[in-house]
Structure 1
C-alpha cells in the first residue's frame, strides 16, 4: 500500500515522484513498463536515433493515414526512466503564451504557468523575467556549434527573416536562431536525471521497472490501485490516496479504456465491460507533422564525424563537439501567410541526413531541415483493436485532413526552398533528396503527402475540461488523475516536453493542496 501510485516514469511521473515525496510522510510508488535508463546511447545526444525501435521504445505506428497515401507513420515513445525525454531530441521550447490562454481553464493561463516553468528550470543564461535558475531541469545552449546550424540561420536572415535569440522569452517567437536544449555538460539531461534519480534516494519512494500495468483497480467508483505483469508474474499495487496516470497521450487513454473507462462503443466492440461511458477518452488526438527536406552533400561536417576518435575524446573529456548535437540545433518560427496572429510553422534544422522518420541510416554527409505545422487542426484518435492489454493501441492521426494544415505545410516547404537557395547554405544544399519537381503548390503538395511524418508531439487524448477537470481529476472516478501531455487541449507552438514539466510541477501543488504561486508577469506589470 502506497499513498500515491504513479503509472509512468516519464517527464510528468518523474516530476510528481520528486515533488510529492518531498513530504517524508507521503509514500510514492512509480511504475515503469521499461527498464532503467542505463543504455549508453541515452546519454549521448547525437545518438538518439539509435534508440528508435530498441528496448527503450514502445515502437508504435499509426494506422494507415488517409491523406498521406495511406502510409503508416512511425511514432516512437520512450519506454524507460525519463520516458520520451530519454530518447527525444531534447529541445526546450515552451510554446507561445497565447497557446495556454486558449486552454480556457482556471489556473492554466500562461501567466499562471510561468512560475512553474521557472521553478523547473536551471537555465545557464541566468535568471530573468521568463527564466529560472536552480531548478532540476538543466536548460543549456548547444555545444556542438556545427557550421551548418549557423549557416541555416544566416540563410534565413538573407531570405528576409528576423533573428531571434530566445524563443522562450514570452514576448516574440518569430525569427530564426539557435535552440536551447535539455542538456548538462553536453550530455542529455532527462526528467529522470533531473527529478527521479534524486528522489530515489528517499526512503518513501519506490520504483518498479519492467512492470507493464494492464488495468486500474476500481472499487465502488474509486481508483484504489493498479494491476499488471512483470514477465509472467501478476503484481497489484494499492493506492491509499490516488492513482496518477502519467503514461502519455497514447498509453494513458489505452489504460483507461482497458479499465472500462472510455467511449462505450469502442469498449463494447472489443468486449470490455463498460464501467464508465467517457466519450472523450482517446479522442481529440493532436500532433505536429514535419515535412523533412534532406540535402546530401560532400562536406565532412555532419554528425557522421562524431565516430572519429578525436571527437569521441572531445565528448568524453570536455562535453563538446559533434556528439553533443541534439539534431535540431537551430531553427526558427515564421508565418506562411498574412493574417495570422502567431507563427504557424517552426523550422527544425539538423546537421545530418534525417531520413525515413529517423529510421534510415545516413548514407553520407547532409543537412536536414523542414517546417513543423504547429497548431494543426487535424484530429485523430486512440482506440482499441482487442481486449488484450498486451496489444498496441490503434492510433490514427488523420494528418492534413484540415485544409489549413496543408496550406501551412506547403507554404513552409516553399519558404524552406527559398532559404536553401541563399548564399550561406549553398555549400550544403545542392540537390534535395527526392525533392518536389518544382516549388509549385501542386508539386509541393504531393511532396508533403509522400514525405511528411510525425515529429513525435502527440497530445490531447485526455483533454482538460473534457476527460479531466481543471485539477486534472478524471471526471466520474474518484482517486484518479491524469498528469501528462494528454491533458493539453492543443499541442501548441512548442515542443511538449517543456510544457509537461510545468504541468507536473503544477499538478504536485494541486495534489498536495498547496497555494498556487503568484503569477509572475501580471505581478511585474502591477509593480
Structure 2
C-alpha cells in the first residue's frame, strides 16, 4: 500500500485546484482518485458539445432524482461530471462568482475568512479575465475567462434592449460592482475550447513527479484508525485497492458523491447507517441533509427573424459551423448556449436580486432521444428566455440506499416545497413575459410556443412551472460548513467535525446557495481550501 501526503477524492472543480496548489511547492505528494476517465474528448473540449455529454455515461454519472411532488411528480435528470475536471468538463461554462451578500452571510453565520472581501483575492488570483484586470477582475491567473461581447448572436441585442425597457439596468460585468441588470455572460473558455478545472489546474499538476492521478478509480470507503482518517479504499479495473494518507484525506466529490462516501464510511445519520448495517464511525445528522438547488424553466418563442436554429439544424449548417470551429475555433460551437442573462428582484422592495435570467438564441422544444438537442434545434426560428431561482427556501437531501458504493444514492430535491418559492417563481415567470412584451422583443415574436397563450391564470402558471421546471445543476450544502457540529458537517477550516485528518472541499460545504451559477465558487472553494490546508501544515 503506497502512502501519499494527501489523497484527494475527485478531480472536479475543487479537486483539480487542490491537486495543483498542494503539489506546487514540491514538498507534498498528492494522489487524486477519479471515478471517471479522461477529459480528452472532442465534445468535452468543444464548448457547445455539452449537448452531447448531457446523457453520455462515458463522462456523466446520469443521476436521477426521486419523483418530486413539487415538479408534478417528475423524476429529474441530474447530470454530474464523471471524468477529469468533473462537472466543469460538462457544464454550460457561465462564469458567475455569486453576490457579495452571499459570502458576507457565510461569514456572518460563524465562518471567519469566508466573507466577500476575504474571498475576492482568491477569485482574482485564479482568473485570467480577457476583459483585463480591475478592482474586481483578475488577470494572469490559470483559468481564462472569455468576454463574449463581440461574438453573441444578433438577437442578443434585442434581448438586452427589452430587458432595459422592462426596467433593468444594462450590466457590463455581473462579477463587478453589482449583480442586478441584464448583460452578456462571461464564460470559462480559452481560444474556443472549454477551460475546465482540469485544463486550468489538473493538467499542469499532472506534469509534476509528486502528483499521481488514478482514473476509473471509485472510492468506496475512507479508512480510519480510531477517529483519524488514514487512507482510502477504492475499486479500479475489478480490483479493490487501498492508499494511505500521511497527512489528510480530502473529499472533493461534489454535493452528491462527498456525502455518499461519508455515509458509506460510517459518517452520517445514525438511523440510516444502522438500518443499512454500516458501523458508525461518527454520527452526524447533517451529512446529506440541507440540500439546496436552483430550479429553472424556459419560456420559448417562435420568432420572425432567423435564430441559431436555422444554422445548427440543417446538415449544411452543421457542416458550415463545424468547419468554422475546426479552422478558427470560433462561431456558435465556441460559445455557451446562454449568450446573455441577468439578475432581477421579484419584489421591488427587496434589497437584492433573487432570480437569474438566461437568453438563448435557439430553441429545443422538439425532443431528441439520447441527448440534449442543442446541436439539433427546432426546424423553425425559435429562442428562449429562461430563469432560475437564486436562493430558494426549499430543502432536500441525498442519502445512500445501501452499503454498496455502486448503488446511486437517493436524491430528494423537494423543489417548490415552500409557499415562498412558489410565489417568487410565479412573479418571475410573469416578468419573463413582460420582457417578451417589450417593443424590441414583441416586434419579432410570432407566438409564444411554451407554455403558450392559453396559460394565463395564476393556477395554470403554477401548474406549468411545476410540470416543466427542473434542476439547473447547482446542488450545494449537503456537507455544509458551520461552527456548530450539531448543524453542520465541516468547520470553517473545512475539517469534518469530530474527526481528524479529514476535510471536505467542494460545493457541498456551501452554508447556503449563492446568487448565480456555482462553478466559479466551487473552484474558489478549492483554492481557498488549499490555502487552509497549507496553512495548517506549517
TM-score of Structure 1 vs Structure 2, range by shorter chain = over 0.9
Displacement of 1:515 in angstroms is 11
CA contact (8 A) 1:42 1:48 kept: yes
- CA deviation vs aligned residue, 1:164-202 (integer Å, no higher than 9, x gap): 111000x21111010101010122110001000011111
- Paired residue for 1:400? 416
- Name the Cα RMSD after superposition: 1.9
CA contact (8 A) 2:54 2:372 kept: yes
Determine the C-alpha separation between the residues in 2 that align with 1:515 and 1:106: 19
Match of 1:458 among 475, 490, 494: 475
CA contact (8 A) 1:121 1:135 kept: yes
CA contact (8 A) 1:211 1:229 kept: yes
- CA deviation vs aligned residue, 1:351-373 (integer Å, no higher than 9, x gap): 22245797356332421222210
Determine the C-alpha separation between the residues in 2 that align with 1:464 and 1:440: 41
Unaligned runs of 5+ in 1: 517-527
CA contact (8 A) 2:36 2:216 kept: yes
Pairwise mapping of residues 297-446 of structure 1 onto structure 2 (< 5 A)? 297=303, 299-302=305-308, 305-306=311-312, 307-355=317-365, 359=372, 362-364=377-379, 365-426=381-442, 427-428=444-445, 430-435=447-452, 437-446=454-463
- Paired residue for 2:485? none
- Paired residue for 1:34? 36
Q: In structure 1, the residue corresponding to 2:460 is in which secondary structure?
A: helix
Determine the C-alpha separation between the residues in 1 that align with 2:537 and 2:400: 39
Unaligned runs of 5+ in 2: 483-487
Determine the C-alpha separation between the residues in 2 that align with 1:3 and 1:303: 52
- Paired residue for 2:117? 111
**TM-score calculated relative to the size of structure 1:** 0.94
CA contact (8 A) 2:269 2:285 kept: yes
CA contact (8 A) 1:509 1:515 kept: no
CA contact (8 A) 2:130 2:145 kept: yes
Determine the C-alpha separation between the residues in 2 that align with 1:405 and 1:434: 20
- Paired residue for 2:179? 173
**TM-score calculated relative to the size of structure 2:** 0.92
Displacement of 1:428 in angstroms is 4.6
- Paired residue for 2:167? 160
Displacement of 1:320 in angstroms is 1.8
Cα distance change, pair 233–326 in 1 and its aligned pair in 2 (3 A): same
CA contact (8 A) 2:304 2:446 kept: no
Per mean C-alpha deviation after superposition, the further-off stretch among 424-433 and 376-385 is: 424-433
Match of 1:275 among 269, 273, 281: 281
Match of 1:66 among 69, 78, 82: 69
Determine the C-alpha separation between the residues in 1 that align with 2:24 and 2:89: 24
Q: Which runs of 4+ in 1 moved over 6 A?
A: none
Displacement of 1:432 in angstroms is 2.1
- Paired residue for 1:53? 55
